[in-house]
Structure 1
Amino acid sequence: MPSAGFANRRAPKLVALIAMLIAFVAQLVGALLPVVPLFIAASVVNLGLDLYLQHKQPGLLSLLGKIRLDITVRQLIRDMLILVGLLHIQGINPLKEQAPLTIGLLVFYVAHFACQAAAVMVRRTRTLPFLTRNIDASALRLTQAPPRLLARQTGRRLLRFSVPTTLGMMVTAITRDALWGGIGLVIALVLAIGGTVYLATWLLPKKRAVNEQRALEWLDNWLAEYRPTVGMYFSGGTTSAYQANMWLSTLAELDGQPIIVLRERFMVQKIDATDIPIVCIPKVANLMRLEHSALKVLLHPANSGKTSQILRIPSIKHAFINHGESDKLSSCNPYAKAYDEVWVAGPAARDRYQLADIGVEDKDVVEVGRPQLAPIKAYEGAPKGEYTTVLYAPTWEGWDGNPGNTSVILAGENIVRELLADPKVRLVYKPHPMTGSVDPRAGAANARIQAMITEANAQRSGARPGPEAAAELEARAADLAALTTSGFRRSADELERMLVQSAPEEGRAAAVAAATAAWEQAYWASFPEWEHLIITTSRPAIFACFNQADVLISDVSSVVSDYLSSEKPYAVANTSGMTEDEFRTNFPTVRAATILTPEADGVAGLLETVRNPELDTLVQARTELKEHLLGPSDPPSLARFNAAALELYAAAEERRIRMEARLAGVPGQRDEGTEANEAQEAAEEMELDPAESTDPVRPATEPAEAAEAADAAEQGEQPTDGSEARASV
């Protein structure tokens, strides 16, 4: 099944590639023989196919770019074949008629490359050494971006501006009158030259942002004025933003001046609605400017390669807060010992770190609870409706191939089959978004499970909500979209987004939370209570699913710990190969759970206890395990979290005072570690060995060139200035 899906995905690309090859061959044959109808048809189809692929098959164009058959080369070949065809068509004078067309075409390409040069210069001037959000950055002379077609879409610009030329040449081939080709060339030249002149206006002082030095001076001044005290540091891939987003509401409630520090430019727009100032600083050399700010505490929801760079700043205390806790070894990563403190939910995580023996000292572990769990509703007893809602939320297969990571492969279909066999069960299936990303068997099992649920729904019937429910959901979705989308123009670039988001909208985060709650209520109301649901989108979120469920079935993951805050019944699938006793001993989060075998033994008994709470023998165990995993309810988790932040801030201040006293009266001395790090920082900026960091080599991570490479990749092109080596920056 996976191989069939792979073939289905590759088939359109293969067909398109063959069609383009045939068009080139047909154009060549039609030009040389000459066969005018074939020549004209092939020329038009060839250009039209390339225009189509720009929008529908960018992956194919990327492959062509890798073999240096990018858009510029393809268009040059097409135009060359057109000139060859006109040369072979009788009735067209090569000297009097075709020569001017050839010269005009050359001038068009000169204009095209001039426009491309202007685009590169504009992009460089519009690439600041940092990005901001929720900060008034008007002093940086931010302006709207130039048209996307001119500034960033090189391939589409060349193709679209070539349309008049190609059409004019084809009319010339039919009429033998070079005037039509000349008209097409004049139109193309006006577009190319006019576009270049218009684009160049962004290089004038009124439209040009400040230079790097002045921008960094502005950043220093803003930091000195805002005086951030506590922040969240985050670096990650495109799908990892949820790890930071789950902490936004908690960070906003802390005492002091909060800030969010990011490293990847794309991540600025991945962060959910918040009033907290956001600063993205890609280069480590610029990141070090935080050392001279008032920032004293940084919270880290995830580990990344770039975390080590910020850890060098001795004036800041760092706490690892993680993005979820489970009994998996990944929750006790040895990287944690690099932080000043490790903040955990409760005693269970403290014990876990000591048992893991990875170098994290017990004195550095601080129990703060899980403030994000406040929206989860508490257990209210037996299901109140006709149906028992079962949430099956398995985790993904992980990187290590451990069969106990996910139940999807060995037990998923058996569990779902048992649940679907009960006429009074409503199943909500929410698999981890990365299911199948490592092990194809997990992806295949996930697909079969969804097919089983779809088939089961087809066999059920009953009353459905009226059209007003769908209308309500649509209205709530529109309200939420109006709050969560920033309304950027298609041509908007980083600077324009900074301009649009330069000031926080007071209360916007609260409004988004209210709109999300209204959407979730409308979402659940739009389905009949008997219908099974498959949820593979980010919304509704897992906490919203918790509140709909009467019971959870999952794996050993942080989902179990979070769900346990409700004290509702839950079950965990044991696909590890251990006995039940060994399973409970090795994984504390399952000690108050019903254990399911790979054959789904135990599902029937689980449902019976959910419907009849008097049969539930694990009530007290869940209460005790909740406190062991998440800590006490009093004082509230947010209060403990805030107190931990204040204590860590005080520790940073004490260190600052000690260092100032120690260095007082010692001329030329700087804070310890600063000079020792300079060579390493410079080497990383230059991507060199530290021993070679004194060589005056051009930095290999220019943000403008990285953006240029990304734009080229979007169009299926290969960068022509060597930036392909830096495209991943």
Structure 2
Amino acid sequence: MPVPSSRRWFTAWFHRRQTAVRLLVLAFLATAFTAQAVGALLPHVPLLLAATAASLAAEGVLYRWQRGMLPLFAKSHADLTVRHVLRDLLLVIGLLRLGEQHRETVYAPLVAGLLVCYALHCATQAVSVLVRRSRTLPVVTRNIDASELRLSPAPPVLLRRPGHRLLAFGLPATGGLLVTVAADAPVAGAAGLALSLAASLAGLAALLLRLLPGRRPAGEREVLDWFDAWLAEYRPTVGLYFSGGASSAYQANMWLEPIARLGGRPVVVLRERFMVQKLAPTDLPIVCLPKVSTLMRLEHSTLQVLIHPSNSGKTSQVLRIPTIKHAFVNHGESDKLSSCNPYAKAYDQVWVAGPAARERYALAEVGVEDKDVVEIGRPQLDAVRPYAGPPAGRYTTVLYAPTWEGWDGNPGNTSVIAAGENLVRALLADPGVQLLYKPHPLTGSVDPRAGAADARIRELIRAANRERPGTRPQGAAQLARRTAELERVTAVAGRAGADPVERMLAQSAPEPGRAAAVARAAAAWDEAYWAALPPGEHQIITDARPALYSCFNRADLLISDVSSVISDFLASGKPYAVANTSGLSEEAFRVAFPTVAAATVLAPDAAGVPALLEAVRHPEQDAFAAARAELALRLLGPAEPPAQERFAAAVRALRATARGHRERMAGRLTADLPGQRRETRPVTPPPGGPVG
């Protein structure tokens, strides 16, 4: 079904409107500077004053409503600092031009004072860089007591941002010069300059104090010695290794709880500093090791196993450590090629959910040997509730959770572009459906068509809600209370302007029982969220909460694409459907993607949606119930022993392999081998004991 021209027109109009607003702001700012230049050169005092005021007002609009334009100015070398200097320069030109008619000798000291302000700004920026470098530690931690490193609060945000600092400290000088130009009052200019100079000197002094030996954090060597001592004292046994972009944190978050339930001495190893705050609340100790040289210090620790939920460019760096065994667990399993990446053969073992993934690797022939594949189930799926029968209420809740478009341009990756709007229209046409739309966070990041289709789908849902008036239940107040409680227990310690060093100080150790409190608050929030929805109101879910598994528990039916979402949903035993936008026939589609074996296959025109809804409401018409149970066993493995137990057993076995390897290597190092030099550095003996 083609997209209506009205929808295409709306999307194009929306983008044109955004572009028009940005061009308007740019034109206004350029006009203000041009008028200021004309007013300074004539000189024309009213024009100079009006243009300067308009320029300052445009700055406020830019930072309040059009922050997306800031990178454009920065790339054009016209950032806030340059604009502020130009604004003051034009005022000085106007002042000197007036001086030709009045008292140039009186105005010259004001110009000199302004130059001193800029010199102080440059000095302050240089010291700010030194302070930032002194606070850039080689190791960043969370949930670890690092008080020995002389950690301290970060300097005020204003002192760390040169453009904002110049604008704030220079505003009195600019205002004083404006009054001087308008009223021929040099005293006003001198007063403004004095305030700016005082503020600049105070900021410079505050930063210089932080460079004193007793005020700066520990140096690199001291931090590394402390980290080695912490490793020796904590004696980690198993770790979660993760590297990625800001939007990929969910891949690590889904493994935090299974790792924590292992017991023993687990640790999380990150590579990007920003990721320390992206991880979900956890009691696990977290270490971020940005440099390869620091990462290599793990080689002589007691760490035996690292678990990898994703591949990244930095994964190869940690795989070089021979004393650690590495297991790839992925962040989800599907029939897509990315689930059988040839990179997987670089790991010691590949841990999968069930037999289907083992077969997938064998068929893919990417170099992963069958002996290195271990079936552990999916420990995260303990939170998914099993099927409890057909919809009991007035509404059938349908979760539409398409995946993103991927990197390879395959039209079968996502249904959003070719089928999304048709599916949503067909679902909204049924008055007994409540739709939950949860698109993948990366939707539209590669193909603009996916982003545009997503925007149109959201507008369809909003329009349907406007036509379906609902009364908000009494649970709204309860939801507000639960939200406040959840925000309280999950709040990141430290103020908003904190840097990594200050956060290390504020997050030195979790409160006892914090993880359990977060779990209780999250469960209570979920219950309050669903209770507070108006009956039948459709939802667009893009925030972290409610989580995907919470949506699983709410839904009676899932519609998705070939992705790990359908594999996980099988744990519920509920009906599901897969959109076929691959161009293959239904028969070929089922053969190509085994996870579709127990699904209703929907064509891009969504013609099969009414019959699908009938099968959900009347289980006797559900032809795939037995197939879903069989497929769940193949994809996720048996229900007994539980997945968490199988996961822990796999960790114990790989730890034993790592210990055996270390013992053999230690024996070889102590043996007299002709023609070889003996290594004198001792290898720290790993601790024994079970995990889990």
Interval of TM-score (by shorter of Structure 1 and Structure 2): over 0.9
Q: Given the alignment, which residue of 456, 468, 472 partners 1:465?
A: 472
Tell me by how many angstroms 1:403 deviates.
1.7
Confirm or deny: 8 A CA contact 1:86 1:92 kept in the other structure.
no
Name 1:319's counterpart in structure 2.
327
Name 1:595's counterpart in structure 2.
601
* 1:301 equivalent in alignment to 2:309: yes
Name 1:727's counterpart in structure 2.
none
Name 1:388's counterpart in structure 2.
396
Tell me by how many angstroms 1:257 deviates.
0.6
Name 2:4's counterpart in structure 1.
none
Q: Given the alignment, which residue of 270, 274, 280 partners 2:278?
A: 270
Give me the whole-angstrom Cα distance separating, in 1, the residues matched to 2:99 and 2:235: 78
* 1:478 equivalent in alignment to 2:480: no
Give me the whole-angstrom Cα distance separating, in 2, the residues matched to 1:635 and 1:315: 30
Deviations 1:509-537 (A, max 9, x none): 22111111111111111112322222222
Name 1:86's counterpart in structure 2.
95
- Higher mean alpha-carbon deviation, 648-657 vs 518-527, is at 518-527
Tell me by how many angstroms 1:627 deviates.
0.7
Confirm or deny: 8 A CA contact 2:422 2:604 kept in the other structure.
yes
What amino acid is the match of 2:89? M
Q: Summarize the alignment of residues 488-527 of structure 1 with structure 2, pairs less than 5 Å apart.
A: 488-527=494-533
Name 2:686's counterpart in structure 1.
none
What is the root-mean-square deviation of aligned Cα atoms in Å?
A: 1.9
* 1:555 equivalent in alignment to 2:561: yes
Any idea what SS the aligned residue of 1:135 has?
A: coil
Give me the whole-angstrom Cα distance separating, in 1, the residues matched to 2:274 and 2:459: 35
Q: Given the alignment, which residue of 191, 203, 219 partners 1:183?
A: 191
Confirm or deny: 8 A CA contact 1:92 1:98 kept in the other structure.
no
Give me the whole-angstrom Cα distance separating, in 1, the residues matched to 2:634 and 2:31: 68
CA distance change for structure 1 residues 408 and 53 in 2, over 3 Å: closer, same or farther? closer
Name 2:124's counterpart in structure 1.
115
What amino acid is the match of 2:147? S
Give me the whole-angstrom Cα distance separating, in 1, the residues matched to 2:337 and 2:583: 17
Tell me by how many angstroms 1:74 deviates.
2.5
Give me the whole-angstrom Cα distance separating, in 2, the residues matched to 1:125 and 1:412: 51
Give me the whole-angstrom Cα distance separating, in 1, the residues matched to 2:451 and 2:88: 46
Tell me by how many angstroms 1:105 deviates.
1.3
Q: Given the alignment, which residue of 403, 407, 416 partners 1:408?
A: 416
Higher relative contact order (CA 8 A, sep 6+): 1
* 1:575 equivalent in alignment to 2:581: yes
Name 2:666's counterpart in structure 1.
660
Question: TM-score, normalised to structure 2's length?
Answer: 0.94
- Higher mean alpha-carbon deviation, 126-135 vs 509-518, is at 509-518
Give me the whole-angstrom Cα distance separating, in 1, the residues matched to 2:363 and 2:115: 73
Name 1:97's counterpart in structure 2.
106
Give me the whole-angstrom Cα distance separating, in 2, the residues matched to 1:69 and 1:409: 38
Give me the whole-angstrom Cα distance separating, in 1, the residues matched to 2:428 and 2:69: 42
Tell me by how many angstroms 1:75 deviates.
2.4
CA distance change for structure 1 residues 461 and 79 in 2, over 3 Å: closer, same or farther? closer
Gapped regions of structure 2 (runs ≥ 5) = 1-7, 684-692
Aligned residues: 670
Give me the whole-angstrom Cα distance separating, in 2, the residues matched to 1:365 and 1:529: 47
- Higher mean alpha-carbon deviation, 12-21 vs 311-320, is at 12-21
Any idea what SS the aligned residue of 1:571 has?
A: strand
Confirm or deny: 8 A CA contact 2:475 2:531 kept in the other structure.
yes
What amino acid is the match of 1:130? V
Q: Summarize the alignment of residues 139-288 of structure 1 with structure 2, pairs less than 5 Å apart.
A: 139-150=148-159, 152-288=160-296
Give me the whole-angstrom Cα distance separating, in 2, the residues matched to 1:668 and 1:212: 32
Tell me by how many angstroms 1:671 deviates.
10
Tell me by how many angstroms 1:349 deviates.
0.2
Any idea what SS the aligned residue of 2:358 has?
A: helix
What amino acid is the match of 2:224? L
What amino acid is the match of 1:276? L
Give me the whole-angstrom Cα distance separating, in 1, the residues matched to 2:64 and 2:677: 59
What amino acid is the match of 1:521? E
Name 1:700's counterpart in structure 2.
none
Tell me by how many angstroms 1:94 deviates.
4.2
- Higher mean alpha-carbon deviation, 380-389 vs 661-670, is at 661-670
Tell me by how many angstroms 1:93 deviates.
4.8
- Higher mean alpha-carbon deviation, 51-60 vs 385-394, is at 51-60
Q: Which runs of 4+ in 1 moved over 6 A?
A: none
- Higher mean alpha-carbon deviation, 312-321 vs 546-555, is at 546-555
Tell me by how many angstroms 1:60 deviates.
2.9
Give me the whole-angstrom Cα distance separating, in 2, the residues matched to 1:388 and 1:64: 50
Tell me by how many angstroms 1:28 deviates.
1.5
Deviations 1:452-505 (A, max 9, x none): 22222233245x234x32111111111111122224323311110000001122
Confirm or deny: 8 A CA contact 1:133 1:278 kept in the other structure.
yes
Any idea what SS the aligned residue of 2:444 has?
A: coil
Any idea what SS the aligned residue of 1:247 has?
A: helix
Confirm or deny: 8 A CA contact 1:301 1:320 kept in the other structure.
yes
CA distance change for structure 1 residues 551 and 72 in 2, over 3 Å: closer, same or farther? closer
Give me the whole-angstrom Cα distance separating, in 2, the residues matched to 1:3 and 1:455: 18
Q: Given the alignment, which residue of 43, 50, 74 partners 1:34?
A: 43
Gapped regions of structure 1 (runs ≥ 5) = 675-729
Confirm or deny: 8 A CA contact 1:465 1:525 kept in the other structure.
no
Any idea what SS the aligned residue of 1:265 has?
A: coil
- Higher mean alpha-carbon deviation, 158-167 vs 299-308, is at 158-167
Name 1:64's counterpart in structure 2.
73
Q: Given the alignment, which residue of 539, 542, 545 partners 1:539?
A: 545
